[in-house]
Amino acid sequence: MLPDAVASAAGDHAAVSAVDVWKSYGRDRVLRGISIEVSPGSGIAILGPNGAGKSTLLRVLAALLRPLRGAVRIQGRDPWADPEARGGVGFVGHEPMLYGGLSALENLRLFAALYGAEDPRARAAWACDLVGLTRRDDPVRVLSRGLVQRAALARALVHRPAVLLLDEPFAGLDLDAAARFADYLRTFRSHGGALVLATHHAAEALRGAGDAYVLVDGRLIGPQPLVRMDAAALEGWYRSAGRAGGVR
């Protein structure tokens, strides 16, 4: 079963885009004039070391952070002027964004209901099955890191969004769970979904993306098509792009 929103993602608009986006924390400029466009059915990977600004960029694209200047659009809509546009996005960041005292199923039923799913119970069970989540009736606060990560992925998928913005989504997943999720990402894209995946591991970029960028000194270098590239070749390009951008 694939996202309901994917079917309506195609059209004249990019699934998600940024134009001349800047973001600072105090005097530290994290994003410097970022412009990027992700079309329905495509996937990009944002590579960069820890602290490069990948998480900030994803949070801006998800309309969880407002940029200092520049524009973000989700399926052609301004998410600050039109907050309902955010419903087309599934986001996974460093925090699971789950209620620790509730079970995974209770969390997912709640989020499914908030997004207006017709059958929140069935939707929650579907999302758990998709990511292979066990112990789904236990409180989230007692789950292992890997199970919490699966629950966070399920939370991002439960409303079947048209856009997935994923920050290190494979962290904490075992080999089986990672393989299952990578398969889903490929299927998601093949049915018109758009993916932005942030990682500092070249091999993970190959699991769902078609192009890669490197975030260096607040600016994007790329795109680098990933067709016929293996992890070693991508790692070499990543390091070369980083050196060209001033990263040592």
Report the candidate in 235, 240, 210 with the shortest Cα–Cα distance to residue 225. Answer: 210
How far apart (Å, rounded) are the C-alpha atoms in residues 234 and 202? 6
Report the candidate in 75, 69, 110, 57 with the shortest Cα–Cα distance to residue 220. Answer: 57
198 has pLDDT over 50: yes
CA distances from 173 to 1, 170, 215, 222 (A): 22, 5, 25, 28
How far apart (Å, rounded) are the C-alpha atoms in residues 114 and 157? 13
Query: What is the structure's pLDDT at 51?
Result: 86
* CB contact set of 43 (below 8 Å; sequence gap of 6+): 185, 189, 194, 195, 196, 197, 208, 209, 210, 211
Average pLDDT over all residues of the chain: 91
How far apart (Å, rounded) are the C-alpha atoms in residues 142 and 34? 39
Confidence of residue 5 (pLDDT cuts 50, 70, 90): low
How far apart (Å, rounded) are the C-alpha atoms in residues 35 and 139? 41
2 has pLDDT over 60: no
160 contacts 120 by C-beta, under 8 angstroms: no
Query: What is the structure's pLDDT at 99?
Result: 97
Answer whether CATH 3.40.50.300 is correct for domain 4-244: yes
Query: What is the structure's pLDDT at 167?
Result: 95
Q: What is the mean pLDDT of residues 144-158?
A: 95
233 contacts 203 by C-beta, under 8 angstroms: no
47 has pLDDT over 60: yes
How far apart (Å, rounded) are the C-alpha atoms in residues 211 and 229? 10
Dump pLDDT digits (tens) for 152-182. 999 999 999 999 999 999 988 888 889 999 9
Dump pLDDT digits (tens) for 123-137. 999 999 999 999 999
Q: 43-47, 64-68, 120-124, 173-177 — which is least confidently predicted?
A: 173-177
Dump pLDDT digits (tens) for 24-35. 998 888 999 999
Q: What is the mean pLDDT of residues 13-21?
A: 94
248 has pLDDT over 50: no
How far apart (Å, rounded) are the C-alpha atoms in residues 217 and 240? 14
11 has pLDDT over 60: no
Maximum pairwise Cα distance, the chain? 52
Residue for token digits 């998480």?
55
Question: Taking the domains of the chain in order of start, what are their residue ranges?
Answer: 4-244
- Token pair for residue 172? 């904490």
136 contacts 103 by C-beta, under 8 angstroms: yes
| Beta-strand pair 16-25/28-38 | antiparallel
More confident of the two residues 240 and 101 = 101
How far apart (Å, rounded) are the C-alpha atoms in residues 148 and 162? 23
Residue 136 sits at the vertex; the CA angle it makes with 132 and 141, to the nearest 5 degrees, is: 115
How far apart (Å, rounded) are the C-alpha atoms in residues 62 and 167? 11
pTM above 0.85, yes or no: yes
197 contacts 184 by C-beta, under 8 angstroms: no
78 has pLDDT over 80: yes
Query: What is the structure's pLDDT at 118?
Result: 92
49 has pLDDT over 90: no
